[in-house]
Amino acid sequence: MKKDFLHVADFSPAELQSMLDLAIELKKEYFAGGNRPLLQGKTLAMIFQKPSLRTRVSFDMAMRHLGGDALYLSPAEIGLGKRESIADVARVVSGYVEAIMARVFDHEHVLELARWADVPVINGLSDYNHPCQAMADALTIQEEFGTLKGVNVTYVGDGNNVAVSLMHVCAKLGANFTIASPEGYDLPAAAVEVAREFARESGSQLAFLRDPHQAVAGAQVIYTDTWTSMGQEEEAKKREAVFPPYQVNASLVAEADKDAIVMHCLPAHRGQEITDEVADGPHSRLFPQAHNRLHAQKAVLARLFGVA
């Protein structure tokens, strides 16, 4: 039976930890002279409804580093669900490649691709979650602290797709997850209930607050993201009036643990959710985190293909 990578919630803590350990191994191997061609003869189709820097380049290079190939399909080439049904796209592309990565607007689209595809499907981002980002986030935290267990992770800002996957990976692996978001911008209730179940098993503590200053007290990781995600452009002005108290700036970081690290999935809107002083300062891990997309995704690909 084929395995997809649609939500971190679909994997056990042991499976997620094993992927993180493999990512660390593959990262060391790469910097020691290059990766083994684990995916030689394999091709990944990359279907994009949304533009991307990190997702496109990291998946393309992950396949190349592991000896495989990647095929970029732009929004204009497919018109997913418009020019051709998602079911038909999934069945056609499955006959050409060994796996599909899709970056979509509507989460239902990636679920339908997986339903009809005969090859593994990877969720490269949807409006509900961003599991590939969460794996890079977890890898960055593990590299910094040696484990996720008991690490205090605070997310400041919109309860969006990135926050959903970050909450789930923290709850799965025992990190304490706190979010501070303004009223009306909370995490989806169903995603929170799932996280509570995971937290009961792992011992993770979850907290849902309004006050960012209260949320960062004792934080070892402060995480933020854009106030307005792709597809929400019509809300930008409204959001810009609501979110300024949630800016991650030097004074907010000073209220966290003295050795706290700051993370952001990028692209960053500097001067909005994060200041230059923080993004480029000693607490920042923005760029190692971005680079970890490459190594975390190598591990995901290797596991889905069953080669490591």
Residue 22, pLDDT > 90, answer yes
Name the pTM for this structure: 0.97
- Our answer to whether residue 170 is catalytic in this structure is no
Amino acid 124: pLDDT: 98
Position 79 pLDDT exceeds 90: no
Q: Which of 265, 289, 295, 297 is catalytic?
A: 265
Q: Is 103 a catalytic residue?
A: yes
In the chain, what are the domain boundaries?
8-130+293-305, 133-289
With b for 16 or more beta-carbon neighbours within 10 A and e for fewer, the 45-72 pattern comes to: bbbbbbebebbbebbbebbebbebebee
> Per residue in 229-275, pLDDT tens?
877 788 889 999 999 999 999 999 999 999 999 999 999 999 999 99
pLDDT value for 189: 98
Which of the residues 225, 239, 283, 297 is marked catalytic?
Answer: 225
Which one from 133, 142, 220, 272 is the annotated catalytic residue? 133
Torsion of CA 245, 250, 252, 254, to 10 degrees: -170
Edge-to-edge strand order for the sheet containing 176-180? 206-209, 176-180, 152-156, 221-224, 261-264
The pLDDT, as a whole number, for residue 70 is 98
Does the active-site annotation cover 291? no
CA pseudo-torsion sign 33, 35, 40, 46? negative
pLDDT, mean of residues 279-290 = 98
What is the spatial distance between Cα 133 and Cα 77, in angstroms, rounded to a whole number?
Answer: 25
133-289 matches 8-130+293-305 in CATH topology = yes
**Domain 133-289 annotated CATH 3.40.50.1370:** yes
pLDDT number for residue 123: 98
Active-site residue, from 54, 65, 103, 303: 103
130 classed as catalytic: yes
Catalytic residue among 7, 264, 285, 293: 293
| Residue 132 a catalytic site member | no
Strands 176-180 and 152-156: parallel
| Residues 6+ positions from 108 with CB-CB distance below 8 Å | none
Q: What is the mean pLDDT of the chain?
A: 96
Higher pLDDT, 51 or 230: 51
Which residue in 54, 65, 109, 130 is the catalytic one? 130
**H or E stretch covering 180:** strand 176-180
pLDDT category, 221, cuts 50, 70, 90?
A: very high
Percent of the chain topping pLDDT 70? 100
Structure confidence at residue 201 as a pLDDT band (50, 70, 90): very high
Over the range 211-228, which residues count as b (16 or more CB within 10 Å of their CB) and which as e? Answer: ebeebbeebbbbbbbbbb
**Residue 28, pLDDT score:** 98
Active site residue 225: yes
pLDDT band at 83 (very low <50, low <70, confident <90, very high): confident
Higher pLDDT, 140 or 228: 140
Helices (H), 48-130: 54-65, 75-78, 86-94, 107-116
Q: How far apart are CA 137 and CA 131, in angstroms?
A: 10
- pLDDT at res. 208: 98
**H or E segment and range at residue 221:** strand 221-224
Q: What is the pLDDT of residue 82?
A: 79
CA distance 39 to 60: 12
Residue range 8-130+293-305 forms a domain whose CATH class is alpha beta
What confidence tier does 214 reach under pLDDT thresholds 50, 70, 90?
very high
